[in-house]
Structure 1
Amino acid sequence: MAMKIRLARGGSKKRPHYAIVASDSRMPRDGRFLEKLGTYNPLLAKDSEDRIKMNLERVQYWLGQGAQPTDRVARFLESAGVLAKTTRNNPKAAVPGAKATKRAAEKAAKAAKADEAAE
């Protein structure tokens, strides 16, 4: 059985509240799960203690059983010190698009032209 530690969404529209659960990966996101391991409330401040609550003993048990955490849950576990930090690489995230690059080049050319005229 392929196990996952993932988020199950609850709450009303535009007011999300998540449960951190251990479930079979074939089950629906908000469907059947084996155990509730904690909660995550993204509406609270990032420094709030109640934003993420987890039963770390049970999380470690499920990791020992071969459960794979999803990306978001893995980040929670890294910040809690359960998992080792992994380096993430998304080099294209910081690169501006074609239009922005063109606009920046035009602006730089215009500024250079204005500097030459001022001298």
Structure 2
Amino acid sequence: MAVKMRLRRMGQKKAPFYRIIVADSRSPRDGKFIAEVGTYDPNCDPSAISVDEEAARKWLANGAQPTEAVAKILKAAGIEK
């Protein structure tokens, strides 16, 4: 099973809010997921990022692959692979 860290879209139309989740790569974008490790709100200035560092590091160590967007967010939060 390939596990990915990716964004799950929440919020209203034209006002997106994202949760950073760990999910099976075959599940749909807003479908079933394994764990939630943080949030990302691009509507604030600057963008609001909240990440559970311990959980994110654990999933990265266990082999979860972040998407490009999540990798940028984790880098901004100070979490490197």
Is the structural similarity TM-score above 0.5? yes
Residue 78 of structure 1 and its aligned partner are, at CA, apart by 1.3
Q: What's the counterpart of residue 18 of structure 2?
A: 18
Q: What's the counterpart of residue 54 of structure 1?
A: 51
TM-superposition CA deviations, 1:29-51 (whole Å, max 9, x none): 111100111111110011x6xx1
Q: What's the counterpart of residue 31 of structure 1?
A: 31
Structure 1 vs Structure 2: percent identity of aligned residues? 48
Is it true that 1:83 corresponds to 2:68 in the alignment?
no
Correspondences of 1:98-109 after superposition (within 5 Å): none
Residue 81 of structure 1 and its aligned partner are, at CA, apart by 2.3
Structure whose alpha-carbon radius of gyration is higher: 1
User: Which of residues 59, 62, 67 is equivalent to 1:65?
Assistant: 62
- Number of equivalenced pairs: 81
TM-superposition CA deviations, 1:15-74 (whole Å, max 9, x none): 11100000001000111100111111110011x6xx110001000000011000010110
Task: Give 1:83's aligned amino acid.
Answer: E
TM-score normalised by the chain length of structure 1: 0.65
Q: Which has the higher contact order (CA 8 A, sep 6+)?
A: 2
- Where does structure 1 lack aligned partners over 5 or more consecutive residues? 85-119
Residue 83 of structure 1 and its aligned partner are, at CA, apart by 1.4
| Aligned Cα root-mean-square deviation (Å) | 1.2
